[in-house]
Amino acid sequence: MNEWIEASIKLANSPGYLDKLSVIYEMQVNPTRILPPEAIKALKEVYVKKDDKELIRLLITHPEVFPVKDSYIGFIRLKPSAIDENPITVKRIAERLYSLGFDKMIEEATRPKETNRQLGNAFKKWLSKLDYNFVDKEEMLASDRGICVLNGSDKTLRSFATLELECKLQKGIDLVMKKDKKYIIGEAKFLTTPGGEQNGGFTDAETFVTEPSGNAKRIGLVDGFVWLESLSGLHDKIKKSDAEIMSALLLKDFINSF
């Protein structure tokens, strides 16, 4: 087992892990979303009439949350004409809406945005507060002493790593750092709930780290449930990995040792 994986397991299974992690991945209290009074009035009218098509049509015209989770809503939002073309699906979704009752339907349509959907830039926001020198492309290339971090979007970082460091990347990355003359690139993930794609989060990080590096060291910065010893199957796999994957809380220690 890689020493950084071992250290991450120890850290995550020790008291205070979540308190420390909250400095990076801050949980915000989100306000209730707003539906204009005229929208609620229009929804009430079609709800009472049991106008299935118009009810769904009105609900998807607002950027608020759809009141019920249904895998077909995304398609309907992109192609509203599907409401007229798929009566069985429309009937099924409408029945779910009626079963809520009108007040509950509006409550669900205006519930606050889920916090875990706001975490995409949390790592970079935290990184920007650290005592490192943040630079542009030219400054990064010219630097040969100390530690500097490349400014820019995931796409900008990917472009630099591809063109300057000869790293073949399939997607954007979260970190391009240089210590003296050595480069580090990294991906950051906060995995919140076991199951589905989240369970593949560690595997994705492992794939990223073990792909051909080009002229940079690759690291994975993973936090969340994956480090828990209680997840026997996933945990056994993690303990066998020699990839340099670690909690973001250990980034400073890694950089100091690099």
pLDDT (tens digit, 9 = 90+) per residue, 85-141? 999 999 999 999 999 999 999 999 988 766 554 466 899 999 999 999 999 999 999
Are residues 253 and 168 located together in one domain of the fold?
Answer: yes
DSSP state string for 123-137: HHHHHTTSSSEEE-H
Task: Give the CA distances from residue 254 to residues 8, 58, 179, 221, in Å, rounded to whole numbers and listed in that order.
Answer: 12, 52, 11, 11
Q: Which of 52, 87, 109 is the C-terminal boundary of a domain?
A: 109
Residue 30 confidence (pLDDT): 65
Residue 194 to residue 211: CA distance in whole angstroms: 25
Confirm whether 51 is domain-assigned: yes
The parent domain of residue 14 ranges over 3-26+117-257
Strands 147-150 and 175-179: antiparallel
Are residues 69 and 97 located together in one domain of the fold?
Answer: yes
Answer for the pair 5, 239: CB distance below 8 angstroms, yes or no. Answer: yes
Evaluate if pTM is beyond 0.85: no
Residue 231 confidence (pLDDT): 62
Per-residue pLDDT of the chain (258 residues; tens, 9 = 90+): 789 999 999 999 999 999 999 999 987 766 678 889 999 999 999 999 999 999 999 999 887 689 998 989 989 998 999 999 999 999 999 999 999 999 999 999 988 766 554 466 899 999 999 999 999 999 999 999 999 999 999 999 999 999 999 998 888 899 999 999 999 999 999 987 765 555 577 888 889 999 888 899 999 999 988 888 776 567 778 888 889 999 999 999 999 998
Residue 196 to residue 199: CA distance in whole angstroms: 6
Confirm whether 31 is domain-assigned: no
Are residues 171 and 57 located together in one domain of the fold?
Answer: no
Confirm whether 248 is domain-assigned: yes
- Segments in the chain forming alpha helices (H): 3-12, 17-21, 37-49, 52-60, 73-78, 82-85, 87-100, 102-109, 122-127, 137-142, 154-163, 201-210, 232-239, 251-257
Answer for the pair 229, 9: CB distance below 8 angstroms, yes or no. Answer: yes
Residue 167 confidence (pLDDT): 92
Coil vs helix vs strand at 84: helix
Give CA angle at 37 (31, 66), nearest 5°: 55
Residue 121 confidence (pLDDT): 83
Confirm whether 59 is domain-assigned: yes
Residues near 73 by Cβ (< 8 Å), separated by ≥ 6? 60, 66, 93
Are residues 8 and 48 located together in one domain of the fold?
Answer: no
Are residues 67 and 84 located together in one domain of the fold?
Answer: yes
